[in-house]
């Protein structure tokens, strides 16, 4: 039961990012760079976890894991995007449509 609740929470929060990227794909975009501020303020409506910004952990967080109950799956992988680059200093992340070269 707790696992189901956790999964629904992850889907609810990061599904908004997936919907945003799906709309960008529908508009023909294949590469999208977003600031952390836009992701947090406009798309998610809340802060990214510290691990998304942490120099030692951000690569793992943005990689998002494999298909399953992860933020990456609900946020971008299931709608056909992957993370091409993260710039911690500029606080940006670049998503590229799966199958496109980085």
**pLDDT tens for residues 47-56?**
998 888 988 8
Containing H/E element for 33? strand 31-35
Query: pTM higher than 0.75 for the full model?
Result: yes
Question: Which has more confidence, 51 or 67?
Answer: 51
Two tokens, residue 100:
């496109």
Q: What confidence score (pLDDT) does residue 7 get?
A: 59
Residue 85: count other Cβ atoms within 10 Å of its Cβ: 12
Q: What confidence score (pLDDT) does residue 67 get?
A: 47
Two tokens, residue 13:
């929060």
3-state secondary structure at position 39: helix
């Amino acid at each position: 039961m707790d696992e189901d609740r956790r999964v629904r929470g992850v889907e609810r929060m990061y599904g908004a990012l997936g919907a945003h990227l799906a709309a960008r794909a529908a508009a023909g975009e294949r590469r999208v760079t977003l600031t952390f501020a836009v992701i947090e303020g406009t798309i998610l409506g809340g802060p990214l976890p510290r691990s998304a910004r942490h120099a030692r952990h951000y690569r793992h967080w943005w990689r998002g894991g494999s298909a399953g109950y992860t933020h990456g799956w609900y946020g971008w992988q299931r709608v056909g995007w992957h993370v091409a680059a993260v710039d911690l200093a500029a606080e940006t992340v670049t998503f590229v449509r799966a199958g496109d070269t980085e």
